[in-house]
Amino acid sequence: MPSSDIKILAIESSCDETSAAVAVNGKVLNNIVATQSVHENYGGVVPELASRAHQQNIVPVVDQALKNAAISPEEISAVAFTRGPGLMGALLVGTSFAKGLALALDVPLIEVNHMQAHILAHFIDEPRPEFPFLCLTVSGGHTQIVLVKNFTEMEVVGETQDDAVGEAFDKVAKMMGLGYPGGPQVDRLAREGDSDAFEFPESEMPGLNYSFSGIKTAVLYFLRDRLKENEQFIQENKADIAASVQKTLISMLLQKLRKAARKYKINQVAIAGGVSANSGLRDRLSQMAEEENWQVYIPAFEYCTDNAGMIAMAGHYKYLAQEFVDQGVSALPRMKF
Ligand code: KG4
Ligand code: ZN
């Protein structure tokens, strides 16, 4: 490969996936992800354990990404890393490793905002959205409607005022005694259930904002009351409960997305983040796209949940813009756009 090629090594460690990827000239060559199964025993991510697992995984994961891409460390143009948002201890592992590596190799260091990277996952494969577009970013920590103006300029036009939608999925799953992470389990069960079996209230928030704490409480009380009458209620109605809750969450998400698309007169609409893997959301979004005449963009499954491929993509565009940070940089758990 000619030496003018831009070769980005990217590192992601914001939550419970340790990941590394290599992108050459904006093409992601690989995406190595070490998932931390240790949290399954606790029904949620335990920050302390996440940091320890990142420490154990980071060297093998980076090593594998480089070997897989057949690139030696000396060939790297820059090191990109997730600075935030995320868990402090988890972020520190990736941040410190990236800083050390960039220093040793004497190459630029690029900070990446994890939420912006979720959006840029849309540029890993074809088809790519055209600017400006709207992106519904839905993960375990965030629920945002973002107006994406270009690769680096993005504006949050609506967001949750309390829980993230992924958190709502996970908490409902926990109440139902399903494993962790709960979102995929609710999704799987919902496919077999009747989404009109039970009704849950949709919270009303002004403008383009969301609230998901109300539905969580509503499900808690609903289950408590029904269990008093029948101890087997959850067991006997698992699929219907999952389908009904999922339908409500999706309806809340898409109503505001439609409102945003009409407000900004944009018909390029994308979804990103872990919850964009949800099959019900994908189906309903495709339907709405027909109704509203939208062009819809949904990333491949492997780029929906946390991965370094998206960090490499964001890193590539920041490299082109020569946006580097110095060695004084530290992790930023509440990093904004
Ligand atoms: O983006 P992500 O991998 O990590 C964060 O940055 O939070 O998102 C994780 C979230 C979890 O809440 C998980 O339950 C949810 O995404 N999730 C799903 C599905 N797959 C992952 N939620 C609903 N349906 C799914 N298929
Ligand atoms: Zn994420």
The pLDDT tens digits for 179-219 are: 888 999 999 999 999 999 999 999 889 999 999 999 999 99
Of 125, 149, 120, the C-alpha closest to 137 is: 120
What CA–CA distance (Å, rounded) separates 227 from 233? 6
Question: Is 323's pLDDT higher than 80?
Answer: yes
Residue range 114-132, pLDDT digits in tens: 999 999 999 999 999 999 9
Closest atom of ligand 1 to 280 CA is: 24
pTM, 2 dp: 0.93
How many CB atoms within 10 Å of residue 125? 13
Q: 308 is written with which tokens?
A: 């370094």
Predicted pLDDT at 57: 97
12 lines ligand 1 (CB under 6 A): no
Tell me the C-alpha to C-alpha distance, in Å, between residue 95 and each of 110, 181, 313.
10, 25, 17
**What DSSP letter does each residue of 279-332 carry, written as one string?**
HHHHHHHHHHHHHHT-EEE---GGGTSS-SHHHHHHHHHHHHTT--B-TT----
112 CA distance to ligand 2 centroid (A)? Answer: 12
94 lines ligand 1 (CB under 6 A): no
Closest atom of ligand 1 to 170 CA is: 14
306 lines ligand 1 (CB under 6 A): yes
Predicted pLDDT at 180: 82
187 lines ligand 1 (CB under 6 A): yes
Residue range 297-309, pLDDT digits in tens: 999 988 999 999 9
Predicted pLDDT at 176: 97
Q: Residues 102-108: contacts with CB within 8 Å, 24+ apart?
A: 102/78, 102/327, 103/327, 105/73, 105/74, 105/76, 105/79, 107/76, 107/77, 107/78, 107/79, 108/77, 108/78, 108/79, 108/319, 108/324
Confidence of residue 162 (pLDDT cuts 50, 70, 90): very high
205 lines ligand 1 (CB under 6 A): no
Residue range 224-251, pLDDT digits in tens: 999 999 999 999 999 999 999 999 999 9
Which among 83, 305, 334, 335 is the best mutation to test ligand 1's pocket, defined by most ligand atoms within 8 Å of the CB? 305
CA 240, chain centre distance (Å):
26
Question: Is 1's pLDDT higher than 60?
Answer: no
Of 37 and 138, the structure prediction assigns the larger pLDDT to 138
**φ, ψ (nearest 5 deg) of residue 98:** -60, -45
182 neighbors 190 (Cβ within 8 angstroms): no
6 neighbors 319 (Cβ within 8 angstroms): yes
Of 17 and 41, the structure prediction assigns the larger pLDDT to 17
Of 249, 226, 322, 306, the C-alpha closest to 272 is: 306
Question: Is 158's pLDDT higher than 80?
Answer: yes
Question: Is 95's pLDDT higher than 80?
Answer: yes
What CA–CA distance (Å, rounded) separates 279 from 213? 22
State the average pLDDT for the chain.
96
Of 135, 121, 116, 129, the C-alpha closest to 261 is: 135
Question: Is 90's pLDDT higher than 70?
Answer: yes
Predicted pLDDT at 2: 56
